[in-house]
Chain A
Amino acid sequence: MEESSSRNMRREEAKKVRQKTVKKRSTEEEEEEQDEIFNFNKKPAEEEEEEEDEDLSDSEDSVFSGLEDSGSDSEDEEEEGSNDKEDGDDEGLKTGPEESEQIEEEKGGVTHKKQEDEYERDSSDEEDIRNTVGNIPMEWYRDFPHIGYDLDGKKIYKPIRNKDELDEFLDKMENPDYWRTVHDKQTGSDIVLSDEQVELVNRLQRGQFGDVNFNEYQPQVEFFSGDLMVHPVSNRPADKRSFIPSLIEKEKVSKLVHAIKMGWIKPRRQDDDSRGRYYDLWTNEDSSILAKHRMHLPAPKIPLPGHHESYNPPPEYLFTDEERALWEQQDLSDRKFPFVPQRFSSLRQVPAFPRFIHERFERCLDLYLCPRQRKMRVNVNPEDLIPKLPKPKDLQPFPTTQSLVYRGHSGLVRSISVSPSGQWLASGSDDGSVRFWEVRSSRCMKTVQVGGAVRSVAWNPNPSVCLLAVALDSVVLILSPSLADRQVVSSSERLLSGQQEEEPAEGVGPVTWSEGEGEELNQGIRLKIQHPKAVHQVAWHAKGDYLASVMPDHSSHLQVFIHQVSRRRSQNPFRKNKGLVQCVSFHPVRPYFFVATQRSVRIYNLVKQEMTKKLQANSKWISSMAVHPGGDHVVCGSYDCRLSWFDLDLSTKPYKMLRHHKKAVRGVAYHRLYPLFASASDDGSVIVCHGTVYNDLLQNPLIVPVKVLRGHVITHDLGVLDVTFHPTQPWIFSSGSDATIRLFT
């Protein structure tokens, strides 16, 4: 009961406050009050407690009673749980005590009966129901002695008003509480407002909340903010329906599914436009016009205006003096803008654009001239067009550096040839000599003076004989240099001396055969074949018995002779003149004969005696030709700096044209074993190319230029005149107009 005792104490205090505020309270009243308490005390203890609570709250809140009814909401809420049912009379009680006291003051003992019926005066719109007249103008009772009726229907008499104006005035002057005394019209009595009530009135007049303790600027708790909360707003467990599929929906869906299955529901039908909703205007139009329309290109969009076009551009867009000068110097088409950015303080001050018509015209012109045709441009990366070639480093071996220089000739060296063993090198020069060099030491082992500028030398490719064919002027000499084994020398002797007796019978032809004599024999000149005209080239057949010689002549069909050395016979294979013959070559294995004229290469079958192929070199003047050791490829050099590679299986057109030389190509050569070929040119360089040939017909030859070899000095506008490979090593010999022969390894 500590609690109740403390409450009693507080109640005492509250009483004191009440005594203070209500001055007119009499001792009778106090008795009444005590009586009231006594009455309350007759109730059960629990109720009493509650009543006390109410009273307590009443006493504390009573200062505002009758003037506010929601000020202490929070307190009400706190107590809500326990005295829900007293809510109603709590409201009533709030206004209750003072007025009931006042009534009691007038009526005496009847009042405590009313107190018993708590709901007696309960009304939402009538605060004071001691007077039952309601909310009427009280002037209506001005002339009556009463001002209304109480609940029992008895008149409520006006208080005896004995105050006249003078009393009023005196009261006004003397009564210090006059200013807080208000006249209650319904009861006709004067009420002196307590300090709290005055304060409340002042607060309300100032537009403030009635409750002093109410903080209207309480911090707001934002539940639904952007911040991610750790805890849920409410601790309520999730609804079961939130995680259990809805049975109703399931039922609905299954119904729909069933309907679709049964075909009751059909998918939404597409609106068919073909029923003449739209009419194709162009169906009967000419297709070319249609195509033109389909290819329509919209005019390019004019870019949006930028800052520089503003009437008040930012200062960085304005021209500096240099920029302006530059702009003025520039050509119209080079200018970045067709105008100078200018600054005006307002749009109003912008003058008319002087070139407006001109500018409009140009725009229209742009539109008019804009290409309206789609250009079918193929997007090709230039890198892709370059064929993927292996690096030269991976294609070794090939000659790279100059190793030896063979010096001794005094004139330009027109032709060189390597012996089939690779031990000897023969060279023919304009100084009238043929020299034999030891390859490995660059030693000139033998010099044969032949008495005329040597045009061509060719070593017999047969390794069992050792013979050299030399073309000078109109003579072809067969030399036996006796630089080989005795067996070889003797076999070549035998080849030369065979069938000698047949010679006279053949003597009538244009070619005469004669043997070397005297000093010539000592030098090794064994046979002389006199031709009617100057011989430019000699070429051996691979077997080493047949020899072809070339006498270029426009007017005659006597341009090529094929000689058989063993039988000392010569014949002219061609009856017609097909053009100026440049060079000839035998096929390495098959009975084919290659004849290069100025523009083309003809391939003849010697057995069938017919032309099998004609290769068109896309060049003006073929200078030299070489046949691949496999026989299926031919490379031609021409005076117009080109090198053309023909794949005989592929086409009669060149498979590849190489234009690496700056000047006329003079000589070409294939390597016998390595996939190499080379070309010599008047620009003093020899270009070595890698040329792999595949047995697979589908795979084209791989041609990679690998090395440019320089060394020869250009004299009299002539550079390298002949080029030939070593038969077994990846070495190349070149002879030049500077009277030297060079070996590159």
Chain B
Amino acid sequence: MSQLQARFFTENKRYVVDDVPFSIPAGAEVLDLSNVINKLLEAKNASHSKVEFDFLVRGQFLRTSLSTHMETEGISTEDVVEIEYVERITAPEPEECMMHDDWISSVDADAEWILTGSYDKTARIWSVEGKAVMTVAGHTDVVKDVAWVKRDGLTSLLLTASLDQTVLLWEWNSERNKVKARHCCRGHTGSVDTVATDPTGSKFCSGSWDKMLKIWSAVPTDEADEVEEPADRPRKKQKTQQLGLTRTPLMTLSGHNEAVSSVLWCDSEELCSASWDHTIRVWDVETGGMKTTLTGSKVFNCISYSPLCRRLASGSTDRHIRLWDPRTKDGSLVLLSLTSHTGWVTAVKWAPSHEHQLVSGSLDNLVKLWDTRSCKAPLYDLAAHEDKVFCVDWTESGLMLSGGADNKLYTYRYSACQTDAGA
């Protein structure tokens, strides 16, 4: 077996080895290289305990033998190979399973609380430990999306979007465990499928089946906006009066030709929406104009944006997760395709603290953890669900969540990989 000259380096100060080229067998695999590094570290530091490493050759994870990898990547074996090594991301461990009464349509979690929307027309609040805290009932139809708005001490604001064409803004006091519908946001003429809060927490945007995006104020007030409702429907009016004050949109963004499936805020001025018309559009919130259109070939189910790597990830009704650069002007350029799912990709989410990791959920019952440096295969498959997965989320505190049509919300603890967060 031929030998290769390799130089190892890492960002992590704890595991630095000498910067000298080593001669290693070309057929070496990850485990062999990991042993090499461990040996070197032991030689330097007697108290070193064994650590599993992963290796990056020119920004791509090593998954096969070194020689095969270099052959496929077209790297010359004559030169000294620069191999970066990072601590291996350990498999996410399942933690809790939260049973719902019906399919889970959406989930939004922060460090303390988990908010889920369900097809039983309610939203639920859970503690991160998996304890059911509150059931938010009020919608007359399926809750399609939920979102936290902001938290001031014990009082939290949250949003629920529903098939009944409304978005409700709730105020929840965690101490008294009381929830109150503050505003009922009316204006959509179709199922509201997605809602997103802007980074400042003062506005939110909703996307609907009626092809519209609407921007609303997220600040609760005690005055209802006047709505020019037709007076001939007393029955409906009575219902809505129970659910807080009516609110009308600040702005309506129209441009999509089909239902809007996903919306998010890139920053407080920029909005990004994905639609069934095979486009992702970037909007300027100030002017209400469209900035960029990214055109795909399939219906988009979901998008996610990572401010760390400034990439947009999209899941569509084929098997692929695609990464886009929202800044390209005539963007129909897919930077990367991640293919491993066998069904529609219904949910994608970038890791909040890691620029390379994202998680995806699909109709093939699988949740997959990806690293963009290893685009051929995901890092881990999480096969806990017994039915379609509809939503996934991360928290910065080290939880991954996924919910689906088996009425279960799974949480997984993952090693909040601080080691190469700055990588």
Residues of chain A whose beta carbon lies under 8 Å from any beta carbon of chain B:
397, 403-404, 421, 423, 440-443, 445, 485-487, 490, 728-729, 745
One digit per residue, 1 when the CB lies within 8 angstroms of any chain A CB and 0 when it does not, for chain B 89-101 equals 0000000000000
Residue B325 at the chain A interface, CB threshold 8 Å:
no
Instruction: Select from chain A the residue with minimum beta-carbon distance to B318.
Output: A745
Is B344 close to A, CB under 8 A? yes
> How many Å lie between the Cα of A3 and that of B259 in the bound state?
132
- Please name all residues of chain A whose beta carbon is closer than 8 Å to the beta carbon of B191 when the two chains form the complex: 423
Tell me which residues across on chain B come within 8 A of A423, comparing CB atoms: 190-191, 209, 259
* Contact between B103 and A485, CB atoms less than 8 A apart: no
| Contact residues in A for B261 (Cβ distance below 8 Å) | 440
B317 touches A728 (CB 8 A): no
Which of the four size classes fits the interface of chain B?
20 to 34
Q: Provided the pairs A423-B191, A445-B142, A729-B276 are in contact, do residues A404 and B258 lie with their beta carbons within 8 angstroms?
A: no
Residues of A within 8 A of B165 (CB): 485-486
Candidates B236, B297, B390; contact of A441 at CB < 8 Å: B390
The residues in B between 93 and 122 inclusive whose CB is less than 8 angstroms from any CB of A are 103, 105, 119
Given the known interface contacts A404-B363, A485-B210, A729-B276, the answer about A443 and B317 at a Cβ–Cβ threshold of 8 Å is no
B3 CB within 8 Å of chain A? no
B396 to A: closest C-beta gap in Å? 29
Which A residues touch B343, using CB under 8 A?
Answer: 403
Complex-state Cα separation, A404 to B363, whole angstroms: 8
Measured CA separation A510–B405 after assembly (Å): 48
Residues of A near B297 (CB, < 8 A) are: 397
Q: How far is the CB of A445 from chain B (nearest CB, A)?
A: 7
Q: How far is the CA of A586 from the CA of B99 in the complex (A)?
A: 49
In the complex, what residues of B have CB within 8 A of residue A442's CB?
388
Interface of A is mostly: loop
Q: Collect the chain B residues with CB atoms within 8 Å of residue A404's CB.
A: 344, 363
The smallest beta-carbon distance between A122 and chain B, in angstroms, is 108
Judge whether A403 and B390 touch: CB under 8 Å.
no
Q: Mark B340-359, 1 if CB is under 8 A from A, else 0.
A: 00011000000000000000
Q: List 21 A-B contacts (CB under 8 A).
A: A403-B317, A403-B343, A403-B363, A404-B344, A404-B363, A421-B209, A423-B190, A441-B103, A441-B390, A441-B405, A443-B103, A443-B119, A443-B142, A485-B165, A485-B189, A485-B210, A486-B233, A728-B258, A728-B276, A729-B299, A729-B317
Q: Please give the distance in Å from B302's CB to the nearest CB on chain A.
A: 11
Chain B 77-90, CB-CB to A under 8 Å as 1, else 0, gives 00000000000000
**Residue-by-residue, is B353-397 near A (CB-CB < 8 Å gives 1, otherwise 0)?**
000000000010000000000000000000000001010000000
SS of B interface (majority): loop
Bound together, the chains give a CA A397 to CA B317 distance in angstroms of 13
Lowest 4 CB-CB distances: which A-B pairs, in order?
A485-B189, A745-B317, A403-B344, A423-B209
CB contact list, B189-221 vs A, under 8 A: 189-191, 209-210
Minimal beta-carbon separation of A674 from chain B (angstroms): 13
* A486→B189 CA distance, assembly (Å): 8
Q: Which residue of B lies closest to A445 (CB)?
A: B142
Residues 251-270 of chain B: 1 if any A CB is under 8 Å from the residue's CB, otherwise 0?
Answer: 00000001101000000000
Closest A residue by C-beta to B342: A401
Q: Chain B residues near A745: list those with CB within 8 A.
A: 317-318, 344
On chain B, the residues within 8 Å of A728 by CB distance are 258, 276
CA distance A443 to B390 in the complex (A): 12
Minimum distance in angstroms from B177 CB to a CB of chain A: 30
Q: How far is the CB of A601 from chain B (nearest CB, A)?
A: 34
Excluding A423-B191, A441-B388, A442-B388, 14 further A-B contacts by CB distance (< 8 Å) are A404-B344, A421-B209, A423-B259, A440-B261, A440-B301, A441-B103, A441-B105, A443-B103, A485-B189, A485-B210, A486-B233, A487-B189, A490-B233, A745-B344
Q: Give CA–CA (A487, B344) in the complex, Å.
A: 32
A326 to B299, CA, bound (A): 69
CA distance A487 to B210 in the complex (A): 13
B236 and A486 form a contact (CB under 8 A): yes
Contacting residues, chain A, for B259 (C-beta < 8 A): 423
Query: When each residue 233-263 of chain B gets 1 if its CB lies under 8 Å from chain A and 0 otherwise, what string results?
Result: 1001000000000000000000000110100
- Kindly state the separation between the CA atoms of A278 and B142 in the bound complex, as whole angstroms: 106
Which residue in chain B gives the minimum CB-CB distance to A483?
B163
In the complex, which residues of chain B have a beta carbon less than 8 angstroms from the beta carbon of A445? 142
In the assembled complex, which residues on chain A have CB atoms less than 8 Å from the CB atom of B210?
485
Contact residues in B for A729 (Cβ distance below 8 Å): 276, 299, 317
**Residues of chain A contacted by B105 (CB below 8 angstroms):** 441
Measured CB to CB, the closest approach of chain A to B346, in angstroms, equals 8
* CA–CA, A728 and B142, complex, Å: 24
Cα separation A745 to B390 with both chains bound (whole Å): 18
The closest CB in chain A to the CB of B316 belongs to A745
CB neighbours (8 Å) of A485 from chain B are 165, 189-190, 210
A498–chain B nearest beta-carbon distance, Å: 15
Residues of B311-347 at the interface with A, using a CB-CB cut-off of 8 Å, are 317-318, 343-344
Segment 218-238 of B: residues with Cβ below 8 Å from A: 233, 236
CB of B233, distance to nearest CB on chain A (Å): 7
Complex Cα spacing A647 to B204, Å: 53
Q: How far is the CA of A397 from the CA of B142 in the complex (A)?
A: 32
Which residues of chain B from 123 to 148 have any CB-CB distance to chain A below 8 Å in the complex? 142
Which chain A residues border B209 with CB–CB below 8 Å? 421, 423
CA A534 – CA B301 in complex, angstroms? 43
Chain A residues near B363: list those with CB within 8 A: 403-404
- Shortest CB-to-CB span from B122 to chain A, Å, is 15
Q: B254 to chain A: closest CB distance in Å?
A: 16
Task: Give the distance in Å from the alpha carbon of A445 to the alpha carbon of B297 in the complex.
Answer: 29
The complex places the Cα of A443 from the Cα of B190 at a distance, in Å, of 17
Which residues of A sit under 8 angstroms from B236, Cβ to Cβ? 486
Bound complex: CA of A666 vs CA of B204, how far in Å?
Answer: 49
For B387, the closest partner residue in chain A by CB is A442
| Shortest Cβ distance from residue A82 to the other chain B in the assembled complex, whole angstroms | 91
List of B residues within 8 angstroms of A421 by Cβ: 190, 209
Please report the C-alpha to C-alpha distance between residue A421 and residue B193 in the assembled complex, in whole angstroms. 15
Which A residues lie within 8 Å of B142 (CB)? 443, 445
Kindly state the separation between the CA atoms of A443 and B363 in the bound complex, as whole angstroms. 13
Q: How far is the CA of A728 from the CA of B317 in the complex (A)?
A: 14
Question: Contacts of A403 on B, CB cut-off 8 Å?
Answer: 317, 343-344, 363
B190 neighbours in A (Cβ, 8 Å): 421, 423, 485
Which A residues touch B233, using CB under 8 A? 486, 490
Shortest beta-carbon distance from B232 to chain A in Å: 8
Cα A537 to Cα B308 with chains together (Å): 58
Q: Which residues of A contact B301 (CB under 8 A)?
A: 440
- CB nearest neighbor in B for A402: B343
Residues of A within 8 Å of B299, CB to CB, are 729
Query: With A and B bound together, what is the CA distance between A404 and B388 in angstroms?
Result: 10
A462 to chain B, nearest CB (A): 16
B103, B105, B317 pick with most chain A CB within 10 angstroms:
B317
Assembled-state Cα–Cα distance A253/B305 (Å) = 99
Question: In the bound complex, how far is the Cα of B32 from the Cα of A439, in angstroms?
Answer: 50
